[in-house]
């Protein structure tokens, strides 16, 4: 018996445990401190009532002879896939076929699982800073990962460059952690690159519902040519507060063919072999969220977070701290003041303002000197945290 030695190559990410440890040490010294968490990547608003009602009704249905559901279709129920297709049509004018949509328990699983259909010899490109799942899942499988720097110079949006050789390219837009989002023109360049090189773009659209700029596509399929080079992952987690409810979806267009094989068929085979679907009440709740009344309710929550993001962004503008994000994203990526590095600024903010952020260095080398703030919080906490920051750092 031999274990998968590649696990030894995964970098330990101390980010969130180190944040927790520093907070614990701080609280031991100052137990009365009133901390405000602005680093957390989880939603805080409750599920919308339409989702709750749909979930309860579906659970009750399951308790009846007639309405009981056993194993569902591995690809997801037709009612949800149709609703998702409708959502793409309404929000982006994009036509998807129901059999190109695969329902899952969230984007994270699919982002990792999709690698089953790709050879280990493919070269993978990710942006730096990066959502760590893209890197770790590939390192586990033994793939070579190259990093594309996302810096202030390129607006935190790396582009293909002459000589770039990448078979699999991860793009996350709006981005976690930077909040930067690709516009049509830049995304088109990536689609052209992928089609010209026979690469596949893995497009993570987990934050698409936060986009308000009409020039920023909510789906990569709004770009001509994307159906022959891109797989898209999306999720109800940030769109509808489903982080604890678990429902996402992946789109693999029929036109995406590599080595003469339809990737949609490979993914279907993979899912039918290794996955048994998402709970019926959860799929009913997800479908309800994407329908008229549900959409209105989930967009109220998103507007709430976006207003928080604006309060944060306005504070950094006032302090003249360079930042990105916050407009099409719940995240604000801000340069630490006075040329501080990520962790010293994290400590400074914790001890002086009692505010917790996420050190950018934890997302990759290019994150050094930055921290991430999130708008997933109450209005009251957001306002209070920004008031403290203005009072402390505004004087310097």
* CB 175 to ligand PLP: min, Å: 7
Q: Which is nearer to ligand PLP, 158 or 315 (CB)?
A: 158
Q: Which of 173, 199, 237, 301 binds ligand PLP (CB under 6 A)?
A: 237
Q: Which is nearer to ligand PLP, 107 or 389 (CB)?
A: 107
Binding track over 321-360 against ligand PLP, x by CB under 6 A: ----------------------------------------
Q: Which is nearer to ligand PLP, 113 or 195 (CB)?
A: 113
- Give which of 356, 357, 322 is closest to 338, Cα–Cα: 322
Q: What share of the chain is helix, strand, coil (3-state, %, to 5)?
A: 50, 15, 35
Q: Which of 129, 158, 248, 294 binds ligand PLP (CB under 6 A)?
A: 248
* CB 106 to ligand PLP: min, Å: 3
- 40: Cα separation from own chain's centroid: 13
Q: Which is nearer to ligand PLP, 107 or 361 (CB)?
A: 107
* CB 104 to ligand PLP: min, Å: 8
* CB 174 to ligand PLP: min, Å: 9
Residues 90-119 that bind ligand PLP (CB under 6 A): 106-108
Q: What is the DSSP pairing of strand 257-258 with strand 261-262?
A: antiparallel
Token reading at 147: 């990093």
* CB 70 to ligand PLP: min, Å: 25
Q: Residue 321 to residues 7, 329, 336, 372, 394: CA-CA distances in angstroms?
A: 39, 18, 7, 13, 11
182: phi then psi, degrees, rounded to nearest 5? -75, 135
Are the beta carbons of 303 and 291 closer than 8 angstroms? Answer: no
* CB 204 to ligand PLP: min, Å: 5
Q: Is 41 in the site for ligand PLP (CB under 6 A)?
A: yes
* CB 110 to ligand PLP: min, Å: 8
Q: Which is nearer to ligand PLP, 305 or 393 (CB)?
A: 305
How many chain residues touch ligand PLP (CB under 6 A)? 13
Q: Which is nearer to ligand PLP, 41 or 369 (CB)?
A: 41
Are the beta carbons of 62 and 280 closer than 8 angstroms? Answer: yes
Place of tokens 């769109």: 239
Q: Is 204 in the site for ligand PLP (CB under 6 A)?
A: yes
Q: What is the DSSP pairing of strand 168-172 with strand 200-204?
A: parallel
Q: Which is nearer to ligand PLP, 74 or 204 (CB)?
A: 204
Q: Is 251 in the site for ligand PLP (CB under 6 A)?
A: no
Binding track over 52-91 against ligand PLP, x by CB under 6 A: ----------------------------------------
* CB 225 to ligand PLP: min, Å: 23
Q: What is the DSSP pairing of strand 261-262 with strand 144-149?
A: unpaired
Alpha helices in the chain (DSSP H): 15-29, 49-62, 78-92, 107-113, 132-141, 184-197, 236-240, 263-274, 280-289, 292-319, 342-353, 379-393
No. of helices (H) and no. of strands (E), the chain: 12, 15
377, with CB counted inside 10 A (0-12, 13-18, 19+), is buried
Binding track over 169-198 against ligand PLP, x by CB under 6 A: ---x---x----------------------
* CB 242 to ligand PLP: min, Å: 7
Report the C-alpha gap between 50 and 263 in whole angstroms.
Answer: 35
Token reading at 161: 């460059």
In the complex, which residues of this chain contact ligand PLP (CB under 6 A)? Answer: 41, 106-108, 131, 172, 176, 204, 206, 235, 237, 243, 248
């Amino acid at each position: 018996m031999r274990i998968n030695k590649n696990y030894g190559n995964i970098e330990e990410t101390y980010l969130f445990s180190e944040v927790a440890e520093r907070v614990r040490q701080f609280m031991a010294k100052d137990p009365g401190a009133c901390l405000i968490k602005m680093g957390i990547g989880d939603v805080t608003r409750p599920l919308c009532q339409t989702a709750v009602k749909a979930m309860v009704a579906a659970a009750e249905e399951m308790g009846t002879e007639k309405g009981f559901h056993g194993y569902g279709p591995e690809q997801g129920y037709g009612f949800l896939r149709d609703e998702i297709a409708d959502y793409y049509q309404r929000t982006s004018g994009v036509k998807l076929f129901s059999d190109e949509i695969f329902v899952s328990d969230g984007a994270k699983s699919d982002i990792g699982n999709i690698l089953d259909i790709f050879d280990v010899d493919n070269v993978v490109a990710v942006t730096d800073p990066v959502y760590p799942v893209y890197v770790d899942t590939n390192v586990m499988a033994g793939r070579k990962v190259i990093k594309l720097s996302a810096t202030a110079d390129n607006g935190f949006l790396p582009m293909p460059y002459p000589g770039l050789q990448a078979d699999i390219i991860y793009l996350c837009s709006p981005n976690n952690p930077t909040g930067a989002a690709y516009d049509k023109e830049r995304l088109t360049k990536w689609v052209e690159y992928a089609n010209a090189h026979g690469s596949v773009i893995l497009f993570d659209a987990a934050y698409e519902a936060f986009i308000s700029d009409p020039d920023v596509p909510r789906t990569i399929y709004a770009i001509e040519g994307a159906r022959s080079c891109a797989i898209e992952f999306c999720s109800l987690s940030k769109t509808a507060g489903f982080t604890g409810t678990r429902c996402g979806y992946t789109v693999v267009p029929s036109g995406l063919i590599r080595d003469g094989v339809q990737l949609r068929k490979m993914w279907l085979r993979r899912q039918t072999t290794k996955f048994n679907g998402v709970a019926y009440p959860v799929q009913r709740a997800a479908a309800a969220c994407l329908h008229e009344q549900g959409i209105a309710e989930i967009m109220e929550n998103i507007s709430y977070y976006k207003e928080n993001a604006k309060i944060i962004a306005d504070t950094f503008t006032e302090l003249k701290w360079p930042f990105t994000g916050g407009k099409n994203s719940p995240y604000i990526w801000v340069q630490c003041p006075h040329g501080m590095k990520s962790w010293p600024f994290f400590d400074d903010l914790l001890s002086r303002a009692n505010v917790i952020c996420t050190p950018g260095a934890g997302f990759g080398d290019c994150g050094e000197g930055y921290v991430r703030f999130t708008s997933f919080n109450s209005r009251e906490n957001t306002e209070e945290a920004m008031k403290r920051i203005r009072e402390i750092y505004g004087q310097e």
